Amino acid sequence: MARADLMYGIKELTGARPAYDQAALYYDGKVPEVFTSLRIRRALAARHVDFDLNFAKTPVDAVTDRLEIAGITGKDDEQTALISQIWQDNQLDLEMPDVFRRAGEYGDAYLMVLPVEDGDGKVVRVEMFYNSPQTVRVIYDEENPRRKAFTIKRWCDGPYLRAEVQYDDRTERWTTSADSRGEQPGDWQPWPADPEDPESWVIEHEWGEQPTFHFRTDRPYGTPEHYGAYGPQNAITKLQSTHMGTVDYQGFPQRYALTETANTDTSDLEPGDFDDGDWPQDDRGTGPSDSGDDSSLKAGPGEMMLLRGFKAVGQFDAAQPNVFLDPITFNVRAMAVICTTPLHLFDPSGDQPSGQSVRAQDAPFTKKVSNRQLSYGATVREAFVFALRRLGIADPVVTVHWKPAETIDDVEGWQTVQAKIAAGVPRRQALVEAGYRSEQVDSWLAGTDDAELQRRVDVLASLADSAQKLGSAATLGVITSDQVTALLSGTIDDLEALAQAQEER
């Protein structure tokens, strides 16, 4: 049965790998453009020419940027202190954002949580680190899709293939012989952890669960955040590559000369007037016409140009840039709609909406981010509960606090908060709806009466309105940006000092 699980897990890994590889290519912007012209395709491939214009990674990065853990707490101070120690020991302020990004890039990501024991078998710490879905896959029970049947991990180790199969009560280690492809059951043999103990290929434990935790955008397996961007990105890549091809014609137009049908006189032509293929080429593939001496005609003061035997000359017009740029814009918009990503995140340097308009456009995206917080937060909680149990906490309780997916920080937003409170909405509810965490709101409201809260909301609304008007004045040149910054900084400092003095009283 163990070998059967191993081979089934390898089959699942192998079957899922192409989709993960494709997702990575689109995120990295390395998907090649497919030309219908074999000649153009060969020419670009031979010279490694590409014109990367990668918009497909934006839906992934946009979600990742909004996923920020504000804190993780336990049931009591002891648990919270252990969680903080685990976080610091594993540099999770760096590791977790990478896990979230990879989960968005592939649709799946895995966090390994492994206890580290001292010489007496006591767990002294736990290690947490990311594993790619290209090498790890959780296999779920067919009867209960929420239960992990087992976890497979396979990787290359020099000429060998290694694998581990994790169960709730043990981990089995497998290896192949040198240079084996590992495609047949007979290719795999037990891999003892201790060469002197043949039975050490099975590592038993009493955890009751597997030490691999699955971050995913969907169930049972996720879909890349930018999956819907594949088609538009293909179109953008083709348009951009073709557009760059026309730039040569815009800088150096292709010309033509019409001759009389009866005229076959070529006595006045220079060797450079012939096609490159008619002349010997050097080792760089260039011919005489590449030397710049294609014509004996010279332009300059006092020069005379004589054209013999030609009825007319002219040049072909290159394609207009809008032929390519307009479809690129359309495909970016399509990408934004398909991937539920605000359009202004694809072009932060352009005209940006503000206030209520931004919140209306961001609403579906904010909902998606909130869903990711629920899903990823549940997995983070499971990982830390497992870690605390290994460290001797019998009944751990873990709570994950996220920074808001969206907060109000503009004049229209604060005016809305002010209007809600004036209309009778409870002050706590109005601030929570503004995107602030419940713990923050409770801390702010502790010992604050309604009149004081109203005064603070009024001050924030007035400050936001002043900042907007001062920004407009700076744009018109009435006041400099440095003066605006100085005025607002001084005002904020004064308000903070006043608030502190009131709290001390």
Amino acid identity, residue 30?
K
Q: Is residue 376 part of a domain?
A: yes
333 & 424 share domain: no
pLDDT of residue 279: 45
Measured in whole angstroms, the distance separating CA 154 from the mean position of its chain's CA atoms is 25
Query: Looking at the domain assignment, is residue 294 inside a domain?
Result: no
Amino acid 67: pLDDT: 95
Q: 255-281, pLDDT tens digit by residue?
A: 777 777 655 555 555 544 444 444 445
Instruction: Please tell me whether residues 499 and 398 are part of one structural domain.
Output: no
What 3-state class would DSSP assign to 150? strand
**Phi/psi zone of residue 177: left (φ > 0), alpha (ψ -120 to 50 degrees), beta?**
beta
Cα–Cα distances (Å) from 463 to 359, 495, 497, in that order, read 20, 10, 16
> Which residue segment(s) compose the domain that 98 sits in?
1-260+316-406
Q: Which residues pair with 156 in a beta bridge?
A: 161
Separation of alpha carbons 56 and 35, rounded Å: 20
Note whether 445 and 401 are same-domain residues. no
If asked whether residues 215 and 168 sit together in one domain, one would say: yes
Give the pLDDT confidence of 376-395 residue by residue, as tens digits: 999 999 999 999 999 999 99
Residue 458 confidence (pLDDT)? 72
268 within domain boundaries: no
Regarding whether 357 and 428 lie in a shared domain, the answer is no
In a domain, 380, yes or no: yes
Question: Do residues 373 and 448 both lie within one domain?
Answer: no
DSSP 8-state class, residue 136: E
- How many CB atoms are closer than 10 A to CB 98? 14
Q: Which of 256, 255, 254, 264 has the alpha carbon at shortest distance from 309?
A: 264
Cα 123 from Cα 37, distance rounded (Å) = 63
308 part of a folded domain: no
8 A C-beta contact, residue 69 and residue 401: yes
Render pLDDT for 311-324 as a digit per residue (tens, 0 to 9): 777 777 777 778 77
Residues 151 and 230 both lie in one domain: yes
Domain boundary among 351, 373, 406: 406
Element (H, E) at 66: helix 58-66
pLDDT at position 355: 57
**pLDDT at residue 111, as a whole number:** 98
Q: Show contacts of 350-356: CB within 8 Å, 24+ apart.
A: 354/410, 354/412, 355/410, 355/411, 355/412, 355/413, 356/412, 356/413, 356/416
Domain count, the chain: 2
Q: Please provide the DSSP assignment of 415-427 as one string.
A: HHHHHHHHTT--H
364 in the same domain as 490: no
Supply the pLDDT for residue 319: 73
Whether pTM > 0.75 for this model: the answer is: no
Report whether 217 contacts 372 (CB < 8 A). yes
Nearest to 309 by CA among 273, 274, 256, 266: 266
Residue 244 lies in a domain: yes
Task: Please check whether residues 400 and 415 belong to one and the same domain.
Answer: no
Whole-angstrom distance, CA of residue 230 vs CA of residue 242? 18
Has residue 304 been placed in a domain? no
Of 406, 428, 445, the position where a domain reaches its end is 406
If asked whether residues 2 and 57 sit together in one domain, one would say: yes
How far apart are the C-alpha atoms of 336 and 301, rounded to whole Å?
A: 56
Extract the runs of DSSP E, i.e. beta strands, from 277-430: 310-315, 399-402
Per-residue confidence (pLDDT) for residue 450, from 0 to 100: 62
Are residues 42 and 1 located together in one domain of the fold? yes
Q: Where are the alpha helices (DSSP H) in 156-199?
A: none
Stretch (H or E) spanning 110: strand 108-117
* pLDDT at site 451: 65
Mean pLDDT of the chain: 82
On whether residue 129 sits in a domain, the answer given is: yes
Where the chain has pLDDT below 70, the residues are 1, 33-51, 245, 248-252, 261-308, 348-358, 407-414, 433-440, 444, 447-457, 494-505
Question: In the listed set 375, 406, 437, which residue is the last one of a domain according to the structure?
Answer: 406
Residue 137 pairs with which residues in a beta bridge? 152
Question: Are 232 and 254 within one domain?
Answer: yes
Name the nearest CA neighbour of 12 among 163, 206, 119, 123: 163
